[in-house]
C-alpha cells in the first residue's frame, strides 16, 4: 500500500521536479521514479496528496516531504509574487512550483556538472557516475557517489561518465570535501553572502552554480541563479536591453527579496516551456 504525503494547492509535483532543480528523477506516464534515502521510490500526485511507493518509514517520508517542499505555503508565496507585473501574468502558467531541499553534496556535484551543459547530457553523466561509483541499493539502482569514491577515481575513469573537462573539477571537489577542506554542513549557518563566497572558492563553481546550490540545497531564498533563459527573460520583460548577470542578480534581490529564488524558478520554467512562443501577452 502506498504512503501519502499531503500537499495543499497549488502544489504541482510535475512542475517542481521538471524545472531544472534536480536531475535524477524520471517521468513516465505522470509518475516520477527516482532514489531517495536509499530507496527506489515512485511518486504520483493525486487529489489527496503525493502517493509514495517503495518507502514507508515515517522518518524517511517526513524527510521526503521536506525535500519536495510539500510543507511550503505556496499559496501565500504566489500571492506575494503576483504583486510583480510580470510574474502576475506568468504564474497562471507556472503555479505550483516548490523549491526542493536537496543534499548539499549531491546538489553541488550535479550543478558543477551542469555548467555549460544541457539537461539530457547532465542526466546521462549522473546516471553513469552513480552506476560506476555509487553503492548498489538494489538491482539497477545506485546511490549517489560519496566524496571518497570520487576523490579516489582517476580522471580516465571519470571521463567514461561523459564528464569531459569537468572530470577534474569533480575529483577535486570530492577530495576537498573528503579531507574536510570544504565543510558543506558549515555553509548552512552562514549568511547568504558569506556562504556564496565560500562556494566560489571551490574549483568549478561559478556564480550560477553557487546560487543554485544556495537555493536548492540550503534554502537561501535571496539566491537568484542566472542562466541564459533567465537572462533573456529579464532583459526582455524588465529591462528592454542587455544587462550583465551581476546587475540582474542585484536587481532581483532588491525587487523580490527573500522570494527571489521562487521568482527565478517561475521565470525559468515559463521561458523554457514557452520558448517557441512570442509570449507577447506578458509584455
The grid coordinates of residue 182 equal: 570544504
> How does the average pLDDT of the chain come out, rounded?
95
High-pLDDT (> 70) share of the chain, %? 97
Secondary structure tally for the chain: helices H, strands E: 15, 7
Residue 210 has pLDDT above 70, yes or no: yes
Categorize the per-residue pLDDT at 96 as very low, low, confident or very high, splitting at 50, 70 and 90: very high
Final residue of a structural domain among 188, 216, 244: 216
DSSP 152: T
Above 70 in pLDDT, residue 276? Answer: no
Q: Are residues 61 and 78 in the same domain?
A: no
**In terms of domains, do 204 and 236 share one?**
no
Indicate if 207 and 115 belong to the same structural domain.
yes
**138 pLDDT exceeds 90?**
no
Residues 36 and 113 in one domain: no
Q: Distance (Å, rounded) from C-alpha 18 to C-alpha 28?
A: 12
- From the list 121, 208, 220, 231, the catalytic residue is 208
Query: What is the domain count for the chain?
Result: 3
Q: What's the pLDDT score for residue 278? A: 45
Closest CA relative to residue 102, chosen from 57, 46, 64? 64
In this structure, how many other beta carbons lie within 10 angstroms of the beta carbon of residue 19?
Answer: 22
* pLDDT the model gives residue 146: 98
Q: What CATH number should be reported for the domain holding residue 22? A: 3.30.310.40
> Which residues form the domain of 56?
3-71
User: Are both 108 and 210 inside the same structural domain?
Assistant: yes
Taking the model in full, what pTM does it have? 0.95
Average pLDDT over residues 30-42: 93
Residues 35 and 62 in one domain: yes
CA separation for the pair 70, 117 (Å, rounded): 29
Q: What is the pLDDT of residues 211-245, one digit of tens each?
A: 999 999 999 999 999 999 999 999 999 999 999 99
pLDDT in tens, 142-154: 999 999 999 999 9
Q: Please report, rounded to a whole number, the percentage of residues in the chain having pLDDT higher than 90.
A: 91
Identify the CATH number of the domain in which residue 184 sits.
1.10.340.30
For residue 193, CA distances in Å to 181, 196, 211, 220, 244 come to: 19, 5, 10, 10, 19
Q: Is 208 a catalytic residue?
A: yes
Are 44 and 79 part of one and the same domain?
A: no
- The CATH number covering residue 80 comes to 1.10.1670.10
Residues 79 and 173 in one domain: no
Task: Please name the residue ranges forming H helices in the chain.
Answer: 13-16, 58-67, 74-81, 85-94, 104-114, 119-133, 147-151, 155-159, 166-178, 184-187, 192-200, 207-216, 228-234, 245-256, 260-273
Distance (Å, rounded) from C-alpha 283 to C-alpha 281?
6
Same domain, 118 and 205: yes
Task: Clarify whether residues 182 and 283 are in a common domain.
Answer: no
Same domain? For 113 and 211 the reply is yes
Amino acid at each position: 500500500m502506498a504512503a501519502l504525503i499531503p500537499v495543499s494547492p497549488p502544489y504541482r509535483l510535475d512542475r517542481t521536479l521538471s524545472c531544472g532543480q534536480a536531475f535524477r528523477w524520471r517521468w513516465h506516464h505522470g509518475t516520477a521514479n527516482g532514489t531517495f534515502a536509499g530507496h527506489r521510490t515512485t511518486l504520483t500526485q493525486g487529489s489527496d496528496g503525493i502517493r509514495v511507493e517503495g518507502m514507508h518509514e515515517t522518518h524517511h517520508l517526513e524527510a521526503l516531504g521536506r525535500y519536495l517542499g510539500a510543507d511550503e505555503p505556496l499559496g501565500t508565496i504566489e500571492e506575494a509574487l503576483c504583486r510583480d507585473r510580470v510574474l502576475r501574468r506568468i504564474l497562471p502558467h507556472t503555479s505550483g512550483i516548490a523549491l526542493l531541499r536537496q543534499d548539499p553534496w549531491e546538489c553541488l556535484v550535479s550543478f558543477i556538472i551542469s555548467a555549460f551543459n544541457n539537461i539530457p547530457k547532465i542526466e546521462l553523466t549522473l546516471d553513469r557516475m552513480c552506476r560506476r561509483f555509487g553503492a548498489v541499493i538494489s538491482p539497477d539502482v545506485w546511490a549517489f557517489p560519496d566524496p571518497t569514491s570520487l576523490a579516489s577515481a582517476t580522471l580516465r575513469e571519470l571521463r567514461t561518465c561523459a564528464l569531459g573537462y569537468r572530470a577534474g573539477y569533480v575529483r577535486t571537489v570530492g577530495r576537498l570535501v573528503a579531507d574536510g577542506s570544504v565543510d558543506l554542513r558549515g555553509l548552512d549557518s552562514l549568511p547568504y553572502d558569506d556562504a556564496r563566497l565560500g562556494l566560489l572558492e571551490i574549483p568549478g563553481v561559478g556564480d550560477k552554480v553557487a546560487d543554485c546550490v544556495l537555493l536548492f540545497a540550503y534554502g537561501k531564498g535571496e539566491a537568484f541563479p542566472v542562466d541564459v533563459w533567465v537572462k533573456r527573460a529579464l532583459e526582455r520583460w524588465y529591462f528592454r536591453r542587455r544587462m550583465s548577470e551581476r546587475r540582474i542578480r542585484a536587481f532581483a534581490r532588491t525587487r523580490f527579496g527573500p522570494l527571489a529564488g521562487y521568482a527565478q524558478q517561475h521565470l525559468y520554467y515559463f521561458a523554457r516551456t514557452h520558448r517557441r512562443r512570442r509570449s507577447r501577452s506578458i509584455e
